[in-house]
Structure formats: C-alpha cells, structure tokens
Amino acid sequence: MADSKSLTRSEVAAMIDHTLLAPEATSADVTAAVAEARELGVYAVCVSPSVLPIQAPGLVVATVAGFPSGKHHSLVKGAEARLAVDQGAGEVDMVIDIGAAVAGDFDAILADIIVVREAISERATLKVIIESAALSDEAIVEVCRTAERAGADFVKTSTGFHPAGGADTRAVRLMAETVGGRLGIKASGGIRTAEAAAELIAAGATRLGLSRSRAVLDGFPA
C-alpha cells in the first residue's frame, strides 16, 4: 500500500487539481490560487466557471458544471460546460442529479452526462461527480458504469459541499474496481493530510481535488 513516504512530493503534485470553489472567493483569491498552484507544481487549477477566463500558464484549467447540487437542467449544465470550454477550460467536473441516483433512475443520469459530453465534445476532459458519500455501494457501481457508457473520462467522489461527506477509501476502491482503469478516479472533499491522500491513491485514485494542496504536499518527501 502506498504511504506518504513511498510517494514523492512531485509525484503527488502531478495528480492534484488545486481547487478554489468557495462562493465568497474574490478575483484576488483566484489570482493567488493560480500563483500557488504554479509554485507547487500541480497538474491543474480548478475554479468556478464565473471567473473564467483566467491566465494560468503551465496549468490545466478545470471548472465545474451543475455545481454543487446537480439539480440543474441538463441543457443548462451543457451550456455552462460549453461556455467554460470556450473560455479556456480544459476539464469540466459535472455534478449528476444525486436524487436520480438514489432513486435508481440511471437512464436519467445517462442522458444528463451525454448532454454535457456532446456539449463539449472531445475538446475537454469530462469528470462526473457522483457524491459517493450519499449513495449506496450498489448505486456507486451503477453510476460509475453509467458514466462510462456516457463517455466520461473520470468519475469523481464528491463536490466537497455535501453534508454526507467527501472522499473515503471504500468508495474510491469500489469506483476503481468498477471502471477497471478505463476511467480515471478523482478523489475530492475533506482531504487534508498526506496520509489521507496516500490512502486514497493506494485505493485507486488517479487525481486528487485539494483546496489545501500545500499542507498535503508538505507531508511527502522531496
């Protein structure tokens, strides 16, 4: 199992989406987040769609759609995602309708994801946020299968805003087993230590969504 001593700081940095999605974030906060992301050498910076376009040399720009509730009309999610990509986003993290997953309406989820996939075509990476802490194991498996059928590139645990919680190793392991390496796995929500990050990577996470990237990276050896 990976631990904070077997992974290097640079290896983990290359997996991080340095994230600023707080509703009170200012333009100065966004500028500071980009500067910190560049300093830390992370993979991407993830910001709210309303702050696009941004200048982030050397970084992939990621954003969200239907965030954080997922209760937006599919066409709204698609339009939001398309506009974000037109404004320079290279990755879009969309939130599914969590209620549809709880109710077992996976056809609705399939249609929702397809609308966003078609809206951005192959111009950007599509990550599907499933809010795993709010779902049963069976629903997690079915949502992951549905995301793969719809053409998603990643499945992602959490928005970080749901009261049920964020990422945990059980859900990440189940997601990884379901998609079998065909899709990426993004763990996000409540990851505050190097130990927690290492456990999620060992469980199968291939990307980490972090708002406290520096604190996590400081726990890994150079």
Q: Which two structure tokens, joined as six digits, stand for 55? A: 């200048």
Looking at the DSSP bridge assignments, the partners of residue 89 are none
The catalytic residue among 17, 112, 153, 186 is 186
CA distance 130 to 139: 9
Q: Is 23 helix (H, G, I), strand (E, B) or coil?
A: coil
* Number of C-beta neighbours around residue 133 at 10 A: 18
Q: How far out from the chain centre does Cα 107 lie?
A: 22
Q: Is 156 a catalytic residue?
A: yes
Instruction: List Cβ neighbours of 205 (8 Å cut-off, separation of 6 or more).
Output: 15, 167, 172, 176, 185, 186, 187
Distance separating alpha carbons of residues 34 and 43, to the nearest angstrom: 11
DSSP 8-state symbol, 56 = -
Q: Residue 186 catalytic?
A: yes
Q: Which of 28, 57, 34, 32 is nearest to 46 (CA)?
A: 34
Among residues 97, 153, 156, 168, the one annotated as catalytic is: 156
Catalytic residue among 17, 77, 93, 168: 93
Residues identified as active-site:
93, 156, 186
